[in-house]
Amino acid sequence: MAANPRLVVLGMLLAMAGWLVAALPVGSQEPSPAPVLVLEIEGGIGPATREYLRSGLARAQEEGAAAVVLRIDTPGGLDAATRDINRDILASPVPVIAWVGPQGARAASAGTYILYATHLAAMAPATSLGAATPVSMGGGAAPDPGGSGGEAREDGASGEAGGEGAAAPAGDPMTRKAVNDSVAYLRGLATLRGRDVDFAERAVREAATMTAGEALEAGVIELVAPDVPSLLQAADGRAVQLPDGEVRLRTAGAPVTEVEPDWRARLLSILTDPSVAYMLLLAGMYGLLLEGYSPGAVVPGVFGAICLLLALYALQVLPVNYAGVALIALGVLLMGLEFAVPSFGALGIGGLVALMVGSLMLYDTDVPGFGVPGQLLAGIGLASALVFMLAIWGMARARRRPVVSGMEELLHEPAVALADFERHGRVRVRGEVWQAESSNPVTRGQDLRVVAINGLVLHVEPANPNSIPAGDPA
């Protein structure tokens, strides 16, 4: 008996439907874990670091990340930037895990403040943290108001407040105020996160430091992990306190995404590099100076104005000594005036000295990561000295050369009298007839020479007082 074709087709459709149902995911299957974003804090902490971390935390919130890992290796940074970073961490709805790594890294000064602010703190073996004593912007160590002595804090540098004023002498109330404010700030973070408060105070007052093992034993950190995967595995299941309440981390096996700085953060990082800002400042001043010497050249003026504005933007977020800026401007001006005012090198040498002294004073070198390398300063000084010496040498050579244009070139030129005259007459010089005057009687055809020029009248005298007139020159 032949099979009914309709039944065959119906059976095939039912078989396909069963296969599709079996292929669909079951409702009890767990969703894929949320990603973990890794942000890196390396080198001096400044405005670029702040913008990078701020955008990274915003991205983590948008993507519903399980956590953000801050990989820290820093000597310190600016106070304002560090406090802004900590405010963003404290307000973050995404758990933030600090990890001082890889091995050999450190979370000094500002890094210690950031580590204390995070929801979970960890370190790799052979790393350290601490040394958060404040240093005033003018340099010098801030004394320990408790009498324990203290080392310099990378103030503007650290997350510690109160260090953006002028340097205060030992025992000055402003210094004690800065140290006490930093102690209170770090103790507050330690209390909030349930970490060791005593070390927080000693890190500020005594510049105390700890290794990873010591920090774990003292309760400064919660974990020691050699790498990020081990950190995520160890952190899984731990409870952390967020602004909206307590949550448990789900980080085991989570995909890890390394977050690179965007173009804005990279541009800001370049502009706020102390060496770049210093070079932009010099380029801007020299460009405007060249435009002043050559009005209408346009290019030096436009280039100088752009560089100077970029430099001023960078300097307003860097730990700058404005006396240094003033000395640099004075030095450039004096070296420029040397070419306009004959001072036999006094203005130029003074300008070069002012430029170098101002360059040394420009930045607070006690703020880690925010100084200008000595090699760059030496190179700028040497280059400026060479250019200045070459310019002076060229000007001296130009002064010794004979005049080859204008009326001055007629001095000492031979002339021939066109007629007898005792005081005023006419002479021929280079084929041209000129009005002339002479203190001695002149005979027609006598050889003369020009000794002075008075307007359009040449003052002449006999080329050879014993010569005999040669007759009519015409």
Give yes or no: residues 373 and 444 share one domain. Answer: no
Please tell me whether residues 308 and 414 are part of one structural domain: no
d(CA 233, CA 254): 9
pLDDT in tens, 303-312: 999 999 998 8
Task: Name the 3-class secondary structure at 161.
Answer: coil
Is residue 16 situated within a structural domain?
A: no
Q: What are phi and psi of 424, to 5 degrees?
A: -120, 140
- Asked if the structure places residue 17 within a domain, the reply is no
Pair 323, 258 in one domain:
no
pLDDT in tens, 167-208: 334 457 777 888 888 899 999 999 999 999 999 999 999 989
Select from 219, 236, 263 the last residue of a domain. 263
Verify that 437 and 380 share a domain, yes or no. Answer: no
**Residue 88 in contact with residue 57, Cβ under 8 Å?**
yes
Tell me, yes or no, whether 123 and 182 share the same domain.
yes
Domain boundary among 236, 263, 290: 263
pTM of the model: 0.65
Residue scoring higher pLDDT (116 or 178): 116
> β-strand 67-73 against 36-42: which pairing, if any?
parallel
Burial of 381 (0-12, 13-18, 19+ CB in 10 A): middle
Q: Mark which of 202, 231, 263 sits at the end of a domain.
A: 263
328 and 425 share one domain? no
Specify if 338 maps to a domain.
Answer: yes
Q: Which structural domain, as residue segments, surrounds residue 333? A: 273-400
396 and 416 share a domain? no
Are 259 and 328 found together in one domain?
A: no
Residues 6+ apart with CB under 8 A from 56: 37, 39, 68, 259
What is the sign, positive or negative, of the torsion defined by CA atoms of 11, 13, 14, 15? positive
* Three-state DSSP state, 165: coil
Mean per-residue pLDDT, 225-254: 93
**pLDDT at residue 100 in the model:** 96
pLDDT surpasses 60 at 406: no
In terms of domains, do 449 and 432 share one?
yes
pLDDT tens by residue, 133-142: 776 544 444 4
10 occurs within a structural domain: no
* 8 Å CB contact between 258 and 65: no
What's residue 138's pLDDT? 43
The total number of structural domains in the chain stands at 3
For residue 206, what are its two tokens? 């005594």
Question: Do 375 and 238 reside in the same domain of the chain?
Answer: no
Query: CA–CA separation, 102 vs 206, rounded Å?
Result: 26
Q: Is 218 inside a domain boundary? A: yes
* Residue 5 maps to a domain: no
In the chain, how long is the greatest CA-to-CA distance?
155
Sheet with 120-123: list strands edge to edge: 223-224, 120-123, 96-100, 67-73, 36-42, 256-258
Domain membership of residue 210 (yes or no) is yes
Percent of the chain with pLDDT over 90: 34
pLDDT digits (tens, 9 = 90+) for 249-303: 999 989 999 999 888 888 888 888 888 888 998 889 888 888 877 777 788 889 9
b/e sequence 450-461, b meaning 16+ C-beta within 10 Å: beeeeeeebebe
pLDDT of residue 472: 46
**Domain containing residue 454: CATH number:** 2.40.50.140
Is residue 217 a part of any domain in this protein? yes
| CATH number of the domain residue 155 falls in | 3.90.226.10
Q: Is 427 found in the same domain as 299?
A: no
Both 244 and 388 in a single domain?
Answer: no
Is there a contact between 417 and 437 (Cβ–Cβ < 8 Å)? Answer: no
